[in-house]
Amino acid sequence: MNTAKAPDGPASRRSATRRTRTRHTATLSTATQGTAAAPTRVLRLPGGLALRYSGRTAAVMAVLVLACAAVWAVTMFTGTYRIGTGQILDVLMGGGSGTDRFIVVGQRLPRVCAALLVGAALGLSGALFQSLSRNPLGSPDVIGFTTGSTSGALVVILAGGGTAGIGVGAGSVLGGLVTAAAVYGFTATRGVSGNRLVLAGIAVGAMLASVNDYLITRADLESAESAKAWTFGSLNAVSWPQVTPLALALPVLAVAALAVGRPLRLMEMGDDTAGALGVNVARVRAVGLLLGVALAGTAIAVAGPIGFLALAAPQLARRVTRSPGAPIGPAMVTGALLLATADLLAQRLLSPFQIPVGLVTGALGGIYLLWLLSRERSSARPQ
């Protein structure tokens, strides 16, 4: 029996490409079906960007923003130094005494703003890395980029640059970029995959942690104490010169992350599928990696290394929104709420003494991981 062979021409190839795109689009629709509680809506943004969201996501975002506002109010209107509500409002309107202005505008306001901004940056960074690696453990602190940023900042601190300033920020971002280049180089030889990226990051992070400890042991006593205290992660002495660069950089980085959000969601289905749908996989991966490192580096420059936040915030955001991909907006607001709440606990638990917020987030992160383990055991238990 003879079989007719289809003509191999441009029209045939275009038809095959259309069939492939249609098949992968159907696969995408099937994979994401039932994950949203409401039909998807599209919000048109300036510059031709489009933000897709569901009704559930919008409701969750509204609740999270209100919770952030509540934590902001508690942080601003309470504290060891007692100031009346009327006096605080007077200060915020531009009046008040010198002491009240120093406490409210010079200490409380920059601290709570730093907590919200750093938490949002880490939440977004974690969402990008988890989407890139297609692994829930793919956060900058697990992969080792946080450790690399810490290494760059420690070099500046131990060289006499102090724990604040442009030098620390530049060192933090540069250290993260060098670490990202090293991890990417180890994984690119055999093809970048989620598990390989996580394993290479853990290995590089472990080596850099030893380098950080060595740097501290070789410094003089005063510099070593300052550097060690900084590595705990703290907002105790944050000021406006530290907050302002992050406040300017975060909106730009967030808009850039929105631009690559949909391609990253397609890449979670696999590089081949994303490529068939027209995604430039190598370029999107490089841009996402740079954005994630820049977000983590700028956050570390302000508050030092904050553990577990970038790991937990995107996972919690995805759970509450039932999003099939990286929930960029909810991850940012969840991270902001978690860090602002953790810093409030750090201020109040042992008042008038204050503890580094990194210790609080570490404890909360351990509780979160134990909760995930208990849920896994419960789901695996035979009925």
Q: Is residue 28 part of a domain?
A: no
pLDDT score for 4: 44
Pick left, alpha or beta for residue 134 (phi over 0 → left; psi -120 to 50 → alpha; otherwise beta): left
Cis peptide before 10 (omega within 30 of 0): no
Over the stretch 321-369, which tens digit does the pLDDT of each residue have?
887 766 888 999 999 999 999 999 998 888 778 888 988 888 888 888 7
Residue 30 has pLDDT above 50, yes or no: no
Locate all alpha helices (DSSP H) within 304-383, ordered by sequence: 309-321, 328-348, 357-380
Q: Is residue 214 part of a domain?
A: yes
Percent of the chain beyond pLDDT 70? 80
Work out how many domains the chain is built from and give that number. Answer: 1
Over the stretch 210-234, which tens digit does the pLDDT of each residue have?
988 888 888 888 778 878 888 888 8
Q: What are phi and psi of 326, to 5 degrees?
A: -70, 110
Q: Is residue 191 part of a domain?
A: yes
pLDDT score for 197: 77
CA distance 199 to 259: 28
Across the chain, the runs of DSSP E, i.e. the strands, are 41-44, 50-53
Q: What tokens appear for 337 in the block? A: 């709420």
Over the stretch 146-181, which tens digit does the pLDDT of each residue have?
888 888 888 888 876 666 667 777 888 888 888 888
Helix (H) or strand (E) holding 229, with range, is: helix 221-231
What 203-209 contacts at long range (C-beta under 8 Å, 24+ apart), as own/partner pairs, is 203/144, 204/144, 204/147, 204/148, 204/179, 205/142, 205/143, 205/144, 205/145, 205/146, 205/147, 205/148, 205/179, 206/144, 208/144, 208/147, 208/148, 208/150, 208/151, 208/179, 209/147
pLDDT score for 95: 82
- 180 CB contacts (<8 Å, ≥6 apart)? 145, 148, 289, 290, 293
Q: What tokens appear for 374 in the block? A: 């208990």
Mean pLDDT of the chain: 79
Q: Cβ(320)–Cβ(59) under 8 Å?
A: no
Percent of the chain beyond pLDDT 90? 17
Q: Is residue 4 part of a domain?
A: no
Q: Is residue 27 part of a domain?
A: no
Q: Is residue 381 part of a domain?
A: no
Q: Is residue 3 part of a domain?
A: no
**How many CB atoms are located within 10 Å of the residue 27 CB?**
15
Which residues make beta-bridge pairs with 51?
43
DSSP for residue 48: G
Residue 117 has pLDDT above 70, yes or no: yes
Q: Is residue 144 part of a domain?
A: yes
User: 155: domain CATH number?
Assistant: 1.10.3470.10
pLDDT score for 381: 61
pLDDT score for 5: 43
Q: What tokens appear for 350 in the block? A: 């042992």
Q: Cβ(219)–Cβ(158) under 8 Å?
A: yes
Q: What are phi and psi of 95, to 5 degrees?
A: -105, -150
Q: Which residue has the higher pLDDT, 136 or 235?
A: 235
Structural domain range at position 78: 40-374
- 283 CB contacts (<8 Å, ≥6 apart)? none
